[in-house]
Structure 1
Amino acid sequence: MNKLTPKAAFRKLAAIYTRMSDQYVKAADAMNLSCEGCTSNCCLTFFQHHTYIEWAYLWHGLNQLDESVRQTIVERAGDYVEQARLAFAKGERPHVMCPLNLGDEGQGRCGLYEHRLMICRMHGVPNFLTRPDGRKVEFPGCWKCQELSAAMREAGREPVAVDRTPLYADLAKLEMAFVGRKLRNLPRVDHTIAEMIVLGPPKF
């Protein structure tokens, strides 16, 4: 497989994101799920991300921001990493606002909404993943989704769940095409968005 240029790889990644968005909307509309009136915030959920291409795409977006905004995000990312470290030291799961959420008291929209990563895009609706060994891993969605799902089942209806297996398969292929043969020898990506920001663009 020929190694892709960043421009070509990002175009293909955006196409995968568009497919994901279409499926998300279908699942959300089936249960009338929306973020309106939600008392929680998905940006407080602790997520780790696992691809170099999404890491690079994140920085592609960061580099399009005004310097002052980008610097604010970098500073918030540093604070996030430290707060997460302290939480883990106490045996707790971090519950810290994502540095990309620039609204007052965490109620704003993602500062890199068009460049947000796959896991951020999937959070909310029911979805599942079939592993290479055939085991099915299910994700129930956010708390609001779970309440709506329970109500649907009581009424004899099954919520629409997004099969993210083909999306992940295509992302894995794209990762290989983007990074190239070096991928097998590189450290596994296992970072929060904050860590990806603090560490800078990926190097490979």
Structure 2
Amino acid sequence: MKEITLSPELTKEIAAIYQAMQEGYDRVSEEVELTCEGCPDNCCDSYFLHHTYSEWAYLWQGLHQLDPEKLERIVKQAKEYIAHSAEALTKGRRPQIMCPLNDNGLCGLYHHRMLVCRMHGIPATLTRPDGQSMRFPGCFRCQEIVKEKYESETDAPAMDRSQLFRRLAALEASLLKGRSHLYPRVKKTIAEMIIAGPPSVPLPHCER
């Protein structure tokens, strides 16, 4: 198997995409006056699936930087997460389990956290490749604030995710050298990405 790794240039690009996401989040959350302070909920127990080799590889860049003891603890928590989520899904329930990266209420891999983790909470819009527009209302606390402050949900500011998603798609295409159709589709939780190890593909016969 050959590990899929990000080049220095692609590492810089995904970090820039994440930074742009953070700046957009900050602008909208400030205008809406949304803050996580004192919130009774924790977004880190939300069940999200992630779909790119790029983010998977970047996640493992961060995991490789951890001391062995902390990484071992995260792996143990990831195994427990997978077992509990499988049980919930078998019963037809959406899992609500703390992310294995959570460390006393905060992300233990903050600078390498996934795109979905970074944009969860605020109102957002997205124009799909087929031209269809979508709007996301934000977390329950954000929806309460919007309902109080604005006559209509669409009057509230929203972050447009479209360009950032296009940049991530271009990065993914570059990482996979335009052959994404030859790779298995990614559909994993963070816990599954941790237990699976860094993303990899079988070596061609000529390289074995």
Q: CA–CA distance in 1 between the matches of 2:153 and 2:107?
A: 36
Aligned-pair identity in percent equals 46
Q: CA–CA distance in 2 between the matches of 1:5 and 1:70?
A: 21
Change (3 A) 1:63 1:159: same
Structure 1 position 195 matched with structure 2 position 196: no
The SS at the match of 1:95 is coil
Structure 1 position 152 matched with structure 2 position 153: no
- Residue identity matched to 1:141: G
Q: Choose 56-65 or 155-164, whichever is displaced more.
A: 155-164
Question: Is the contact between residue 152 and residue 158 of structure 1 (CA under 8 Å) also seen in structure 2?
Answer: no
- Residue identity matched to 1:69: K
> Per-residue displacement from partner, 1:133-190 (whole Å, max 9, x unpaired)?
1111221111111111111214999221000011000000001111213321111111
RMSD, aligned CA: 1.6
State the match for 1:27 in structure 2. Answer: 28
- Residue identity matched to 1:52: Y
Question: Is the contact between residue 146 and residue 153 of structure 2 (CA under 8 Å) also seen in structure 1?
Answer: no
Q: TM-score, normalized by length of structure 1?
A: 0.93
Superposed structure 1 runs of 4+ greater than 6 Å apart = none
- Residue identity matched to 1:95: Q
Tell me which of 133, 136, 143 is aligned to 1:136.
133
Q: CA–CA distance in 1 between the matches of 2:30 and 2:49?
A: 27
Aligned length: 197
> Per-residue displacement from partner, 1:57-96 (whole Å, max 9, x unpaired)?
0000001011000110011001101111000100100010
Question: Is the contact between residue 88 and residue 94 of structure 1 (CA under 8 Å) also seen in structure 2?
Answer: yes
Change (3 A) 1:54 1:156: closer
Q: CA–CA distance in 1 between the matches of 2:153 and 2:108?
A: 40
State the match for 1:64 in structure 2. Answer: 65
Q: CA–CA distance in 2 between the matches of 1:33 and 1:21?
A: 14
Matches within 5 A, 1:1-204: 6-103=7-104, 108-154=105-151, 158-204=155-201
Q: CA–CA distance in 2 between the matches of 1:175 and 1:155?
A: 37
The SS at the match of 1:145 is helix
Q: CA–CA distance in 2 between the matches of 1:138 and 1:23?
A: 16
Any stretches of 5+ residues in structure 1 without a counterpart? none
- Residue identity matched to 2:191: A
* Cα deviation, residue 6, structure 1: 2.2
Any stretches of 5+ residues in structure 2 without a counterpart? 202-208
* Cα deviation, residue 101, structure 1: 0.2
Q: CA–CA distance in 2 between the matches of 1:157 and 1:182?
A: 39
Q: CA–CA distance in 1 between the matches of 2:121 and 2:153?
A: 21
Change (3 A) 1:156 1:166: closer
